[in-house]
Amino acid sequence: MCARRVLRSGPAAEIARSPLPKRRDARQRALAFDPMPDRVEPCLALLASRPPIGDQWAYEVKWDGYRLAVHIEPGAVRIITRGGHDWTRRFPSIAHDVRELALDTAILDGEAVALDARGASDFGGLQKALGGRGGKRFASEAIFYAFDLLYLNGRDLRALSLDERRKMLADRLGAGHSSIRLSEEVDADGAQFMKLACELDLEGIIAKRRDAPYRSGRGGEWLKIKCVQSETFLIIGWEASAAALGGIGRLLLAARRGSALVYVGSVGTGLTTKTATELRRRLMSLLIDKPAVTGIAKKGMRWVEPTLSAEIAFRAWTNDGKLRHASFKGVRDDADAGEIFVIDPVRDCAATMR
């Protein structure tokens, strides 16, 4: 069930009740509207070990896809990835359906996902639809789950509380369209919701402070709690194997620690013949003579420039800082650059997250 609070007064209520502005006559004085940002750096969720407690927190499903900002302007729609790439043409259904919302100007924050047979988000399925890293195909079946509204009808809403922004978002989406849906707030205790999400094999949940404004970056107003950890690591090499799918026995991975890279282990499961073959072709063009990470001695490995990043699911960390029970999910596109896992030097295996 979606829990919503009613706005009765104040600037947020006035914006929510305001009709769509008519096009201004050029002879009239310019109205004092807030300029529409060309791009907004997203608010990012901080990793937490357990759900927070208290009525000040709202909970949603954690979607596993591509973070997008949908910019709606008179006669134009732009779909911008977290990395700042314009992917409007790659999500034709979302671009078409968002025009049907009859919004004059708006910025929607959300996640594009592909759903599996159970209705859960499938990152691998979305990558396949898009043609993988660097692919040029379209994800016509992608669903956009909107979870925030940053700009509406000439007004910047980022200073308003989450509850106020969510109320306006729900009102504007209405019954929704085939590919535009509201990421619903779940009216439940955080611990119970987390337990249910894990039982359903979902990636996890998101907790957000109801009273918080929208702040770019990772300030702690949003938290993510995961059933199975999934992070982005750099590929620094691979072990060739004639018996393995696509010739890759395992990939060697690194995370960031300050300005340096640190080896965090390897992954050999989750690759298919097709993905491994394509990945090996790309890695062959990045060969270097020695590893990009110091203090690693692995004979028989092929080393590469640390420019390709992979999404890796894993269960835990070993005592010496290596991934445990790792599984390959996919290669992250340049559109999602900038979210390589960062190891906290104080806590060693905690990190700032996407």
Q: Which residues are catalytic?
A: 62
3-state helix, strand, coil in the chain (%, to 5): 20, 30, 50
Return d(Cα 324, Cα 318) in angstroms, integer. Answer: 6
CA distances to 47, 187, 267, 343 from 349, in Å:
12, 32, 18, 6
Q: How many CB atoms neighbour CB 100 within 10 A? A: 10
Task: Collect all residues with Cβ–Cβ distance below 8 Å to 275 and sequence separation of at least 6.
Answer: 132, 246, 328, 330, 331
From 349, 339, 340, select the one nearest 42 (Cα to Cα): 339
Return d(Cα 281, Cα 242) in angstroms, integer. Answer: 15
The one-letter amino acid at 16: A
206 burial class (0-12, 13-18, 19+ CB within 10 angstroms)? Answer: buried
Total residues found in the chain within this entry = 354
Return d(Cα 125, Cα 115) in angstroms, integer. Answer: 8
